[in-house]
């Protein structure tokens, strides 16, 4: 087990010049010993590259990787003592399930009785005990992935266990089970786990700390509630939540925040010097307000959908006559209130304790008055 510190950048091409040449832009990050982390981001954002740099499969083109303060940048995964599970199941066809699970231990010369106990334990955790003597090649995809997971967890002295979207090939109901299993294993074994995924639910339920990545950058590291309540970057606002955060263009005029030509509230100290900002508010915190209420803006409802437990109402900012090109605002509304229909004029309350302000995609601290 180890505390992992990264201070690096990586480009697959030689001589990177522009930001686009980098798979990973310069970043500094620390994974604490025994933590459960998730790297979350869309495809191609660099999360797998980052994972492979931690494991040692990829050597960063600049910077260093430290394990417990020791520089391991040039070391192989084996020397770093890393376990990694890949997106698609990797099994050794000619071996039985038990032999597959024992393989990482056998390669390291662990005594046979110790191997037997570990394999038994891991098989039990993953509910593979009944299939230990079967040939691994004949099993279904999810059983094979369990074997891959098992091979990742079978060594108890590993620095960290890395998962690269390990549940992609698993059925949805098993996915949920396995995810809970992994969490349980984390509690039992106290290993450092790093989990790569593009699924926010997976990341937020699995990890204590989620690293949100986009286009080679780690834009925010935080707990589920940090990411939800205080997105540091507009990307986090968009990416986390369903639907994502509303972003409305706002201007600061005479110490007041103005959205769509209407004053919605006083601007905080940090906003005073800024002319134009983005107002960010989660659909969960958008409310229906009385006409002309403080902190509310008028809009024309364009769509109202029943999503079962809530209504998703979309409106275009502006009065009913001149609502041609106003920004869209979405609200998640509880079904017990009067839901406006498409075409109705409505007032949406957008300013509250959860409202954030952004300038150049970054959150402005101390923006609320």
Partner 1 sequence: MKPVNQKAWLLVLPVVLCVAFSAILPLMTVVNYSVQDIISPERRVFVGTEWFKAVMRDDDLQGALLRQISFSLAVLAVEIPLGIALALSMPAKGWQASAVLVLVAISLLIPWNVVGTIWQIYGRTDIGLLGAALAQLGFDYSYTGNATHAWLTVLVMDVWHWTPLVALLCYAGLRAIPDAYYQAASIDGASKLAVFRYIQLPKLRGVLMIAVLLRFMDSFMIYTEPFVLTGGGPGNATTFLSQYLTQKAVGQFDLGPAAAFSLIYFLIILLLCFILYNWMQRVGTQDKESGHG
Residues that bind partner 1 (CB under 8 A): 55, 57, 76-78, 82-84, 86-95, 103-104, 107-108, 137-138, 140-141, 144, 148, 151-152, 169
* Residue with Cβ nearer partner 1 (160 or 364): 160
Q: Would you put residue 63 in left (φ > 0), alpha (ψ -120 to 50) or beta?
A: left
Whole-number minimum distance, CB 120 to partner 1, in Å?
19
Instruction: Give, in order, the Cα–Cα distances in Å from 27 to each of 46, 189, 216, 221, 257.
Output: 12, 29, 9, 12, 34
* Residue with Cβ nearer partner 1 (91 or 210): 91
* Residue with Cβ nearer partner 1 (41 or 152): 152
* Residue with Cβ nearer partner 1 (108 or 114): 108
* Residue with Cβ nearer partner 1 (106 or 341): 106
* Residue with Cβ nearer partner 1 (94 or 320): 94
Whole-number minimum distance, CB 154 to partner 1, in Å?
9
Q: What is the Cα–Cα distance from 250 to 265, expressed in whole angstroms?
A: 11
Nearest to 115 by CA among 127, 93, 98: 98
Whole-number minimum distance, CB 191 to partner 1, in Å?
15
Whole-number minimum distance, CB 118 to partner 1, in Å?
14
Bridge partners of residue 316, in order along the sequence: 300, 328
Residues in the chain: 369
Instruction: Give, in order, the Cα–Cα distances in Å from 34 to each of 47, 51, 191, 224, 297.
Output: 20, 17, 5, 18, 47
Alpha carbons within 13 angstroms on the beta-carbon side of residue 179 total 22
Tell me the H-state helices in the chain: 47-55, 77-80, 97-106, 112-125, 141-153, 172-189, 200-206, 224-229, 234-239, 269-272
Q: What is the Cα–Cα distance from 152 to 147, expressed in whole angstroms?
A: 9
Whole-number minimum distance, CB 368 to partner 1, in Å?
48
68 prior amide bond cis, ω within 30: no
* Residue with Cβ nearer partner 1 (140 or 342): 140
* Residue with Cβ nearer partner 1 (148 or 192): 148
Whole-number minimum distance, CB 92 to partner 1, in Å?
5
Q: Which two tokens stand for residue 225?
A: 């509630």
- Mention every residue, 6+ apart, whose C-beta is less than 8 A from residue 308: none
Whole-number minimum distance, CB 369 to partner 1, in Å?
53
Nearest to 360 by CA among 253, 285, 246, 275: 275
Whole-number minimum distance, CB 256 to partner 1, in Å?
57
Bridge partners of residue 39, in order along the sequence: 196, 211
* Residue with Cβ nearer partner 1 (103 or 358): 103
Whole-number minimum distance, CB 162 to partner 1, in Å?
9
């Amino acid at each position: 087990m180890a505390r992992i510190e990264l201070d690096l950048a990586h480009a697959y091409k030689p001589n990177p010049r522009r930001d686009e040449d980098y798979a990973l832009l310069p970043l500094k990050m620390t994974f604490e010993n025994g933590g459960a982390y998730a790297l979350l981001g869309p495809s191609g954002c660099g999360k797998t590259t980052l994972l492979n740099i931690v494991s040692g499969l990829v050597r960063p083109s600049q910077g260093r990787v430290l394990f417990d303060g020791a520089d391991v940048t040039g070391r192989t995964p084996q020397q770093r003592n890393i376990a990694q599970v890949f997106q698609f199941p990797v099994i050794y066809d000619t071996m039985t399930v038990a032999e597959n699970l024992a393989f990482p231990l056998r390669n390291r010369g662990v005594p046979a009785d110790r191997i037997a106990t570990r394999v038994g334990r891991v098989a039990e955790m993953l509910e593979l005990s009944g299939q230990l003597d079967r040939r691994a090649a004949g099993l279904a995809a999810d059983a094979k992935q369990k074997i891959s997971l098992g091979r990742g967890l079978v060594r108890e002295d590993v620095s960290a266990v890395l998962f690269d979207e390990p549940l992609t090939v698993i059925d949805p109901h098993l996915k949920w089970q396995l995810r809970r299993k992994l969490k349980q294993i984390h509690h039992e074994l106290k290993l450092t786990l790093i989990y790569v995924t593009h699924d926010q639910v997976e990341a937020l339920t699995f990890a204590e700390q989620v690293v949100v990545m986009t286009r080679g950058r780690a834009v925010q590291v935080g707990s589920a509630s940090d990411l939800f309540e205080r997105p540091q970057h507009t990307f986090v606002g968009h990416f986390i939540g369903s639907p994502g955060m509303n972003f409305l263009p706002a201007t600061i005029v005479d110490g007041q925040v103005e959205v769509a030509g209407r004053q919605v509230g006083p601007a905080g100290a940090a906003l005073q010097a800024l002319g134009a900002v983005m107002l960010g508010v989660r659909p969960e915190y958008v409310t229906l307000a009385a006409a002309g209420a403080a902190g509310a803006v008028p809009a024309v409802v364009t769509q109202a959908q029943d999503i079962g437990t809530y209504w998703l109402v979309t409106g275009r900012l502006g009065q009913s006559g001149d609502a041609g090109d106003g920004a869209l605002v979405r609200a998640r509304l509880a079904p017990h209130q009067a839901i406006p229909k498409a075409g109705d004029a409505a007032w949406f309350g957008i300013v509250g304790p959860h409202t954030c302000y952004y300038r150049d995609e970054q959150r402005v601290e101390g923006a609320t008055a």
